[in-house]
Amino acid sequence: MKHFISLTDLTLKDFREIFQLTEELRNNPQRFNQVLGGKFIGLLFEKPSLRTRVSFEVGINQLGGKAIYLSSQEVQLGKRESIGDVAKTLSKYLQGVILRTFSHQSILEFAKNSQILVINGLTDLLHPVQVLSDFYTIYKRKKDLKAIKICFVGDGNNVCNSLILGSAKLGLNLWVASPLGFEPDKDVIKKALQIVKKTRAKIRILNNPELAVKSADVLYTDVWTSMGKEEERTWRREVFEEFRVDKDLLRLAKKNCLVMHCLPAQRGEEISSEILDSKNSIVFEQAENRLYVQKALLVWLFRR
């Protein structure tokens, strides 16, 4: 069973097939309304979610499947029961699991013991379903992904890590600006640098947001304080102050630069309301595309 844990699980051909399926699903949804007929998909979430949960539940139902939501109250991974035992048990009832967990090691352990499809709905290290959808959103707007400059400004978190790995696989030009000490994961960077030897992607990691944003076609940001680190929010505001996406920073990018945010946003912190609600912003288009791309991903994975 091949799972979807990271964007590095996909080839360039896979990306193309999923994006093509996304187009087909959008244009002719009725053709796919029984693709998951008779299949039960578990949503095992240690972290609460709005977009990931709703988009997957709606998508699974639109494809004829049944979504079963399991919170941390029902399933306490590694506490009330070992991760391996949970994976083996759910493999007897379900045809797939979308796992949203704090620890990336948890999903690796779960997948190792699972006899059914496992999809990474978010870990502390990666958020591949989000970024897969984001690349589709950029593609719809810009077409030639290799001809543009993408910039991420903010915390080197799971979204940033997946952007790096995905950009490396697709051969893109990605600039990342994070405060000193908040750069992306070192192992992720190391893996990306190995990939770019083949794809000729350009990955730049900086501590200067103004330099990174200069002439960008796409400007992406995310919250300064990730879920589970709320106690750090006050001092993180001071550290990240110069990394806010506002009109002054956006002026350094191209005039028609697209502004992206995976949401939820803390207005006035990592991004100003003025920019979030501006004509450059495509954040709610991003959110909408989560539904279409994740449906395509499910169809593609179950067809293999």
Q: Which active-site residues does the annotation give?
A: 100, 127, 130, 222, 262, 290
Rg of the chain in Å (alpha carbons): 19
Residues 79 and 109: their CA atoms lie apart, in Å, by 14
Q: Cα dihedral sign for 301, 283, 170, 156? A: negative
Full DSSP string of 259-299: EEE-S---BTTTB-HHHHTSTTB-HHHHHHHHHHHHHHHHH
Cβ pair 185, 205 in contact under 8 A: no
Structure tokens belonging to residue 41: 């998909």
Can you list the positions of beta strands (E) in 62-138?
Answer: 66-71, 96-100, 117-122
Asked, as a colleague might, if the bond just before 264 is cis with ω within 30 of 0, I would say yes
